Amino acid sequence: MAEKNIKSLGLGIIIGVLGLGLFISGGVAERVLGIGLIDKVLGKIENKMGLESGVKREVLDEENVVTKVADEAGPSVVTVSISKTKVTASDPFFGFDPFGGFFSSPGQTSQEQIEQDIGTGFIISKDGLIVTNKHVVSDVGATYRVVIGKDQVEEVVNIYRDPINDLAILKVNRNDLRPISLGSSDQLKVGQTVIAIGTALGEFRSTVTKGVISGLGRGIVAGSPIEGSEKLDNVIQTDAAINPGNSGGPLLNSSGEVIGVNVAVSAQGQNIGFAIPINVVKESIANFSQTGEFERPYIGVAYRMISKQAALLNEVPVGAYVSEVATDSPADKAGIKVGDIITEIDGNKLDDEEGKTLVSLINKKKIGDEVKVRYWRGKEFTEVKVKLEKR
C-alpha cells in the first residue's frame, strides 16, 4: 500500500501541473470530476509513465472494505454500562470529607449513584447472548446494561464469567438481535488488515479504527492495581487504535468476521493493543452452550513456562515448571510435585513460542478425560495418567 499511495500522490501532483487545478485524495476527485473522466485522465498518465492500471481504484477499494465492515458489523457491537451506588465515608478521626473538602461529623457517609459506559461487547446469538471481557463486568456488586444501536438500553439479567480466560457472556431478554459473524484465528498472518469497533474511552460509542496484525502468539500480563493481574497466552498484537472502553469489543478481518476480542493496551507504548483469539472464545462459547456455564477441565498446578533459551542455559527441558500443586487436585493425586517440569500432554510437546502452553493444551480436553502427562524430575522423565476434573 505504501507504494500505491506514493503513486496516487504523484498522479495528483501531475494532474495539478496539467492544469486541472484539483488535488486528488481518497475519493474526492471521482465525486467532483466523475468516474469516466478520471478513468480517462488516469489512463493517459499511466500509459505515458509506464504505471500499472487501476492504482486509484485499488486505494478506493481498501476504503470501501472498511466502510462495509463498519456497516455490517456495527449493529452487532454494543456498549456495556455499569450502574452502582458509590458510598463515600468521611474521615472517622478528623471529620473531613476528602472529596468535598468540607468538615462533617466523624463517620458520616454519603451515597452517589454512578452510571457510566465502561466497555464494549458483541452479539453472538439472536436470543440475547453477548460476549465481552470478564474484567469489564468484574464488579459483582454492580448492575450492568448494554446499549444496542443508538439508544436501545437493555438490562443484563445474567453474567457468566470464564474462570480461565478474560471472557464473559452477558444475557439480555431479547429475541430479535443481530449476531455478528465469527471467523477463525488459526490462519492469521502478520501484516493482515484488521478493524476494531468499540466505545473508545468509555465515551465515544461505535468508534472504528483500522490497523494490521503486528504479532501473533504473544504472552502478556494484563490488569490493574484494583482488579489484579492475569496472564494471557497466545494473544494477537495489533496497531489498530485500542483505548480503555474498547475492552470486550471485536477485532475484525476485512470480511467482517471477528478474529479476536480486544482485551488490553500497552501502557508503555503507542499503538500496541492485544486481542484474545476468537478460536479461544469459540471454545468457551461451545462449552457454555453444552453446560450452561464455563466449566473447564482442571489439572491443579500453578506454573511458568521455560523458554528454549532458558532451558539451554539451565540444562533442563522446555516445558512448564510447576511452582505450586493444589491439594487433592488431579496433579496431586497423580504424584506431580513442585519443581517438576511438565513437557508433554498426550504426546504434544509444550512450547511457549508456539503457543503450546499447559493451559492451552488442557483447555482442549474435557472434564473427565484421562491424559498422559510426561514430566522431568531429577534428570529423568516420568509419564503418568491424570484424570481431569471440574474446578
Model confidence at 296, in pLDDT bands (50, 70, 90)?
confident
Counts for the chain of helices (H) and strands (E), in that order: 8, 20
Q: Are 341 and 375 in contact (CB under 8 A)?
A: yes
Where are the CATH 2.40.10.10 domain residues in the chain?
193-288
Model pLDDT for residues 127-155, shown as the tens digit of each residue:
999 999 998 998 888 999 999 988 899 99
- Can you give the pLDDT at residue 40? 47
Strands 228-238 and 143-148: unpaired
By percentage, how much of the chain surpasses pLDDT 70? Answer: 73
Q: Rounded to whole angstroms, how far apart are CA atoms 323 and 301?
A: 7
**Mean pLDDT confidence for 209-238:** 74
Average pLDDT, the chain: 78
- Would you name the residues annotated as active-site residues? 135, 166, 247
Comparing 26 with 92, the larger pLDDT belongs to: 92
What is the H or E stretch that residue 289 is in? helix 278-291
Closest CA to 266 of 230, 231, 236, 242: 242
* CATH superfamily ID and name for 297-390: PDZ domain (2.30.42.10)
pLDDT digits (tens, 9 = 90+) for 26-69: 333 333 334 444 444 444 444 444 444 455 555 556 788 899 99
**Delimiting residues of CATH 2.30.42.10 domain(s) in the chain:** 297-390
Name the residue with higher pLDDT: 101 or 295: 295
The Cα 111–Cα 182 span in angstroms is 42
Contacts of 374 (CB under 8 A, 6+ apart): 342, 343, 344, 345, 381, 382, 383
CA of residue 113 relative to chain centroid, distance: 30
The whole-model pTM stands at 0.61
b/e burial code for range 239-249 (CB count within 10 A of at least 16 → b): bbbbbbbbbbb
CATH class for the region spanning 193-288? mainly beta
Count of beta carbons in the 10 Å neighbourhood of residue 73: 21
Contact 349, 356 (CB under 8 A): yes
